[in-house]
Amino acid sequence: MKKTGIFSGSFNPIHIGHLALANWICEYDGMEEIWFLVTPQSPLKSGMKLMADSLRYEMVERAIGNYPKFRVSDFEFSLPKPSYSVYMLREIQKAYPERLFHFIIGADNWLLMERWKDYQTIITQYPILIYPRLGYEVYIPPDYPNVRTVNAPVIDISSAFIRQACREGKDVRFFLPESIRRYTKHITSVL
């Protein structure tokens, strides 16, 4: 089975932190591929304004370019709303049974996991990789053998930071991949 990381997120917008983390997981943590699943509105972030699904998908597609270990997916767009990770994982595993999917989440999301729909199913049935975030301590109970942290470098950049910087007219050229810098006006439009 091909070890495939599911990096699911709104990518509102994607930035170098997402790409560096995914690259590190492929090159240093044994993942053969990372699939960037562009997600619709998260039930836990219902008040957040998002760029259009198609625009976020296009930005991820351009950002990952032709790197052979990355793939962009709109798999979740066709699933019933609201979009719950437990349903996405179940459906993607059915659609691609030849792959062993690892669900990649940030330490911030790990601390909210108990608020996720059917979180125990996710924890027990799918390998979970938790990446470090500044200010978030990760504790994994010993009875969660499918869950582990990745020792990736911490890159303290977030999509919220990028949106705020764009709002303030800051030059964010080194935080965004060159291939998506022209989308700055779209990023500003969701503020």
Closest CA to 35 of 110, 107, 85, 92: 92
Which residue shows structure tokens 């219902």? 46
The three-class DSSP label of residue 4 is strand
Q: Are 78 and 115 in contact (CB under 8 A)?
A: no
Work out the mean pLDDT of the chain and round it to a whole number.
Answer: 93
Task: Name the pLDDT band for 186 (thresholds 50, 70, 90).
Answer: confident
- What does the DSSP 8-state code read for residue 120? H
Structural domains in the chain plus CATH codes? 2-156 (3.40.50.620)
Q: What pLDDT, on the 0 to 100 scale, is given for residue 49? A: 85
Q: What pLDDT, on the 0 to 100 scale, is given for residue 41? A: 73
Structure confidence by residue, pLDDT tens digits, 34-80: 999 999 876 766 667 899 999 999 999 999 999 999 999 999 999 99
CA distances from 165 to 10, 52, 106, 109, 118 (A): 18, 20, 22, 23, 36
- What does the DSSP 8-state code read for residue 32? S
Strands 128-131 and 99-106, sheet pairing: parallel
Q: What pLDDT, on the 0 to 100 scale, is given for residue 44? A: 65
**Residue type present at position 11:** F
pTM above 0.75, yes or no: yes
Residue 81 has pLDDT above 90, yes or no: no
- What does the DSSP 8-state code read for residue 180? G
How many Å apart are CA 160 and CA 181, to the nearest integer?
16
Residue % of the chain over a pLDDT of 90: 83
Structure confidence by residue, pLDDT tens digits, 84-119: 999 999 999 999 999 999 999 999 999 999 999 999
